[in-house]
Amino acid sequence: MNTLLAQDPTLADFGRDPWWLVLIKIVFAFVFGLLATLLGVWFERRVVGYMQVRPGPNQVGPFGLLQTLADGLKMAFKEDILPKAADKVVYFFAPVISVVCAVTALSVIPFGPMVSIFGHRTPLQVTDVPVAVLVLLACSSLAVYGIVLGGWASGSTYPLLGGLRSSAQMISYEVAMGLSIVAVFMTAGTMSTSGIVAAQGDATRLTIAGTEIPAPGWYAILLLPSFIIFFIATVGETNRAPFDLPEAESELVAGFMTEYSSLKFALFMLSEYVAMVTMSAVTTTLFLGGWRAPWPITLWADANTGWWPMLWFFGKVLMLVFVFVWLRGTLPRLRYDQFMRFGWKVLLPINLVWILVLAGLRSIEDWQSRDRLLATAIGAGVLLLATLLWPSRKPAPKPTPQEQADSRPYGSFPLPPLDLQVPPSPRTKRVVAEREPANIATGSDSQEV
């Protein structure tokens, strides 16, 4: 058997570890989520600062690395304000639900292959089950309960609107995300996360100028439309810009977090960044080969053995986190109707058509790796062309200012004067009306003001 394939864990390798080794892996996954969040906040500030031609955090610690820790300590010692109209129990547990769901998803993420820890052969993964991907979907779905309950329990209007937005957002983009994962199930033949990573280990052969070049069998290449739609859906699920509508500060003050302060506010911030790191790890596992090294690192025989795969895994996660930050520093926030229309009328139809095309291709018995890659490229091209060339209704011509003024009924909200002449104020009109009788009595002319 191939040495690299021998490193792949199977479902039979789980459930055999001693209790202390299970505890070590649980603590490692939890610490990874917290440290990745602290560094993620610093990383986002530095990258956005570079994009906006400013230094970013650079005072607390070397390169400002301790700035996030200082902010966390500052929030911990702030006054914890509880609104009078809040439901105290739900108000307290809402941020806890968001954090727990985001961290729990890391339990089925494979960080590496089989390794030896204190003489025990064990996979670098807390646990795995035959339906591990459904566990990931459940965690991402339940995390929205923290936002919805937090917005409702605050007893205020803006948090309630933010919670309602988040629930509608989750329903819209959870469908697209689930359909994208269906394509992964069909290709890998399993819902186990370790099995999906193992299925992406088979290299494909690309023929360029008569020379065969090995390429990774990542589903980001073989299932390109599913990868693009899945990543867009993860941005919408994590409430990140340009889809940060539940906490749109220009519309809802701070959205569902408006009435939160101190540690509860910090927990909501923590859950957002943990979810961003978790969804980056999920995307890496499902579409970017998991812990497997990219080409040309795979030319090194020991690239996918030992502890090296953890380095490749963290590198891919960091790359996806950079894309999250890049989107925030580049794209403006969408309107809510544009966001919902994009999810239901663009992503969902494209995903349904792609699943049908993929199911048809899977029914062909002699569908080899190279043919699979070619069919994916053709399918992605056809879908993109169909989206771009789809006939759209031309917008109605915008009425002129005069037409707008004529269409308004008497007594409606006044328009600014079309001739740019400032009309006299009501006080001036009243003064002129009071002087008018006196001018008539004395026979003098009235002065126009």
Distance, C-alpha 314 to centroid of its chain:
18
Of 82, 96, 85, nearest to 145 by C-alpha is 96
Per-residue model confidence as pLDDT tens digits over 33-76:
888 888 888 999 999 999 888 888 888 888 888 888 898 888 88
Say how many CA atoms lie within 13 Å of 267 toward its Cβ: 22
The pLDDT of residue 266 is: 85
Cβ atoms < 10 Å from Cβ of 103: 21
d(CA 23, CA 121): 15
Place of tokens 């003024």: 405
Radius of gyration (C-alpha) of the chain in whole angstroms: 29
Nearest to 260 by CA among 409, 384, 94: 94
Report whether pLDDT(205) > 90: no
More confident residue, 421 or 187: 187
Distance between CA atoms of 365 and 202, rounded to whole angstroms? 18
CA distances in angstroms from 153 to 75, 159, 252, 253, 264, listed in the order given: 21, 9, 16, 17, 13
pLDDT in tens, 137-170: 888 888 888 888 888 888 888 788 878 887 888 8
Mean pLDDT of 220-243: 85
3-state secondary structure of 87: coil
Q: Which residue shows structure tokens 């109605």?
A: 396
Q: Two tokens at 381? A: 């091209």
Residue keyed to tokens 């965690």: 139
CA nearest 263: which of 426, 94, 119?
A: 94
Are the C-beta atoms of 123 and 110 separated by less than 8 Å? yes
pLDDT of residue 175: 87
Residue 446's pLDDT is what? 45
Residue 95 has pLDDT above 60, yes or no: yes
* Max Cα distance, the chain (Å): 117
Q: Is the pLDDT higher at 208 or at 2?
A: 208
144 within 8 A of 166, measured Cβ to Cβ: yes
Distance in angstroms (rounded) separating the CA atoms of residues 174 and 195: 23
Tokens of 18: 């001693």
Answer with the residue of higher pLDDT: 390 or 353: 353
Instruction: Please list the residues that pair with 205 across neighbouring strands.
Output: 214
- Distances 120 to 16, 109, 115, 185, 358 between C-alpha atoms, Å: 10, 20, 8, 31, 41
DSSP string, 348-370: HHHHHHHHHHHHHHHT-TT--HH
DSSP conformational letter for 205: E
Q: Where are the alpha helices (DSSP H) in 123-261?
A: 132-153, 157-188, 193-199, 219-222, 224-237, 249-252
Number of H helices and E strands in the chain, helices first, is: 17, 4
- As a whole number, mean pLDDT of residues 173-184 equals 88
| Cα–Cα distance, 14 to 432 (Å, whole number) | 91
Residue 90 parent element (H or E)? helix 88-104
- For residue 183, the SS3 value is helix
User: Can you tell me the distance from the alpha carbon of 108 to that of 127, in angstroms, rounded to the nearest whole number?
Assistant: 5
CA 427 and chain centroid, separation? 55
For the segment 329-388, what is each residue's pLDDT rounded down to a tens digit? 888 887 878 888 888 888 888 888 888 888 877 776 555 555 565 666 667 667 666 765
Mean pLDDT, the chain, rounded, equals: 79
| Residue from 121, 159, 356 nearest 247 by CA | 159
**Shortest CA distance to 241 belongs to which of 176, 340, 326, 302?**
326
Q: What is the spatial distance between Cα 407 and Cα 425, in angstroms, rounded to a whole number?
A: 25
**Closest by CA position to 36, among listed 106, 97, 93:** 106
CA distances from 395 to 341, 390, 392 (A): 16, 15, 9
pLDDT confidence band for 448 (50 / 70 / 90) = very low
pLDDT, tens digit (0-9, with 9 covering 90-100), for 396-427: 777 777 776 676 655 555 555 555 555 566 66
Beta strands in 334-426 (DSSP E): none
- Which band of pLDDT confidence, cut at 50, 70 and 90, is reported for residue 109? very high
Whether 134 and 41 have beta carbons less than 8 Å apart is answered as no
